[in-house]
Structure 1
Amino acid sequence: MDFNPLRYLAIGDSLTVGIGVHLLDPGFVEYYRGMSQQILKRRIFYQKHARSGATTEDVLAMLYSPTATEAVKCANIITITAGGNDLINAAKGFMRNNDEEIIAQAIKQARKNYSKILERIHHLDKQDQYILRLTNLYNPFPEIPIADEGIKAFNASINRFGREMNVKVADLYGVFKGNEKAFLSKGGVHPNSKGYYQMALALSKLGYSPFEG
């Protein structure tokens, strides 16, 4: 184990918090940190800045708190989970008004917020080398056509950020599709332990360049 440690910062919503498993069980953050340590053979210190129910706007606001600002400056590895709550809130509005424009607007705003989140991180991170890992959204409601359409549209806009330097997007949609019963907790919205492990695996498979080799 190399004694030159890396710092991992996990930012986001309930997925980063680890909702869906028992309090002391690992979520994807803990699994991903473990996998990363094994692959890179370096100690990795991690911290979370996350809260359940956070939207992309909330995540952007988090990055302006003094503690998160300091954490970003020192981070070598950053993961972000955001967007699910933007769509859930829009879906509630859609069900009230039956206006698909509400969902389109939410996706557009989420994309703008994501862009600002990445700008903020690029502006703050003072490390010579750092990697940013985003996740697209899986669909916990595969039987609802409008949900699938909205999530696919959201994912198309998030996947574009994968073209930026040091940024890659893990395809959770593909991982969970057809495996919802196996990977989601009893409530059916958040992952269970298997689901969080698969999330971490999808992130790990994106690689660790420039830290490898």
Structure 2
Amino acid sequence: MKKRVCLHFIVLLLAVASVWPMKAEAAGVHYVALGDSLAAGQTPNKEIGAGYADLIALSLQQSGNLASFSKKWAFPGYTTEQVLEQLDKKEVQQDVRQANVITISAGANDLLPLIQNDSVRGILSYEPIPAAFALNRVRKNYSQLLSEIKQLNPQAEIYAMGYYFPYPHVKEQHKPSVEEQLGILNQIIQQEAERAGANFVPVSPRFGNDAKSLVPNAKDVHPNTAGYLQMANSFFDVYAPGSPEIPEQVLNALPAPIPFSELTASQEEEEKEEEVKAEPEEVAIADQPIKGCKRGEEFLVRR
């Protein structure tokens, strides 16, 4: 599904751009968003839509400053380790080298799976020791992640996105302990960002712990478009202090999000088409006699 999601990201951005005209010819900022479902733009209803990265890109585009934008390396569910592993891919390295603005959302998927959310009773629970190990892992991976990005592109401006409190619907007495853990997560991200010479983007002040209007689904931790707008404006608070905020009216022009089920169906159809296209070539190659092949040459023929 991930491969097809990437294609839809591009379509989604173009669709939004078509209803938000540019003020000038785009030039300057090559923006790459790395990370998890927040970077990808996952909605509270298992869809992929316009997230904070799209809104940042569109704001830059509207001001005539955007040269390129990609969030094709952001995937729902990715942990810090998986985001780090992305940097082993040549395609990712190439995009990172070409970028001059990079945002990262990573860390929540290391911690949140350890938190049990009983949305019916409004109860949160977690085991402190596994949570502490997860947070230590975030610190180690985040440090390495920033170090490798810096090695690939020392000149890029890196913005490490913080996290908001994603359980506004639970009972008040169950919020403080989990808030504390998320606060530690944000503190770790901020410390590692500052240590690496990157920028930390605090998001939680715009959400608080009762943002039901921004995180509307009690069973899901993802924000709606209004929540993503708050994240995008949090970015600009750091990137361009004092600049006008992205207006709420922009949300009315966003295209409809794409359900996971539709993305999965599209991916399956694409894979079938690729298999059909590959069959004649595979048969032709298989029918060719291979004489005197040295070890490994057959693999070169078949690629």
Q: Is the counterpart of residue 205 in structure 1 residue 234 in structure 2?
A: no
Kept in 1: contact 2:37–2:74 (CA 8 A)? yes
How far, CA to CA, are the matches of 1:138 and 1:85 in structure 2? 13
Sequence identity (%): 30
Q: Which residue of structure 2 lines up, in the alignment, with residue 192 of structure 1?
A: 224
Which gives a bigger RCO, structure 1 or 2 (Cα 8 Å, sep 6+)? 1
Q: Which of 150, 153, 159 pairs up with 2:184?
A: 153
Q: Is the counterpart of residue 118 in structure 1 residue 146 in structure 2?
A: yes
Q: Which of 131, 140, 161 pairs up with 1:135?
A: 161
The number of residues matched between the two structures is 202
Kept in 2: contact 1:20–1:185 (CA 8 A)? no
SS for the counterpart of 1:80 is strand
Q: Which residue of structure 2 lines up, in the alignment, with residue 106 of structure 1?
A: 134
Which deviations, in whole Å up to 9, do the C-alpha atoms of 1:179-208 show, x marking residues without a partner? 521111424410101000110010011125
How far, CA to CA, are the matches of 2:233 and 2:67 in structure 1? 17
Runs of 5+ in structure 1 lacking a partner?
Answer: none
Runs of 5+ in structure 2 lacking a partner?
Answer: 1-23, 117-124, 242-303
Q: Which residue of structure 2 lines up, in the alignment, with residue 180 of structure 1?
A: 211
1:15-30 superposed matches below 5 A:
15-20=38-43, 25-30=49-54
Deviation at 1:98, TM superposition (A): 6.4
Kept in 2: contact 1:33–1:44 (CA 8 A)? no
Which deviations, in whole Å up to 9, do the C-alpha atoms of 1:100-136 show, x marking residues without a partner? 111111101101100010011000116xx42111111
Which deviations, in whole Å up to 9, do the C-alpha atoms of 1:35-76 show, x marking residues without a partner? 23345x323311111111110011000111121111111111
Deviation at 1:8, TM superposition (A): 0.7
Q: Which residue of structure 2 lines up, in the alignment, with residue 44 of structure 1?
A: 67
Amino acid at match of 1:56: T
How far, CA to CA, are the matches of 1:9 and 1:131 in structure 2? 11
Kept in 2: contact 1:21–1:27 (CA 8 A)? no
SS for the counterpart of 1:182 is coil
How far, CA to CA, are the matches of 1:8 and 1:102 in structure 2? 35
Amino acid at match of 1:200: A
Kept in 2: contact 1:79–1:133 (CA 8 A)? yes
SS for the counterpart of 1:117 is helix
Alpha carbons of 1:165 and 1:117: their partners in 2 closer, same or farther (altered >3 Å)?
closer
Alpha carbons of 1:202 and 1:131: their partners in 2 closer, same or farther (altered >3 Å)?
same
Alpha carbons of 1:150 and 1:63: their partners in 2 closer, same or farther (altered >3 Å)?
same
SS for the counterpart of 2:78 is coil
How far, CA to CA, are the matches of 1:198 and 1:112 in structure 2? 28
TM-score scaled to structure 2, two decimals? 0.61
How far, CA to CA, are the matches of 1:61 and 1:85 in structure 2? 15
TM-score scaled to structure 1, two decimals? 0.85
Deviation at 1:27, TM superposition (A): 1.1
Q: Which residue of structure 1 lines up, in the alignment, with residue 28 of structure 2?
A: 5
Kept in 1: contact 2:160–2:201 (CA 8 A)? yes
Which deviations, in whole Å up to 9, do the C-alpha atoms of 1:112-171 show, x marking residues without a partner? 100010011000116xx4211111121112543331121111111111134246521111
How far, CA to CA, are the matches of 2:26 and 2:41 in structure 1? 28
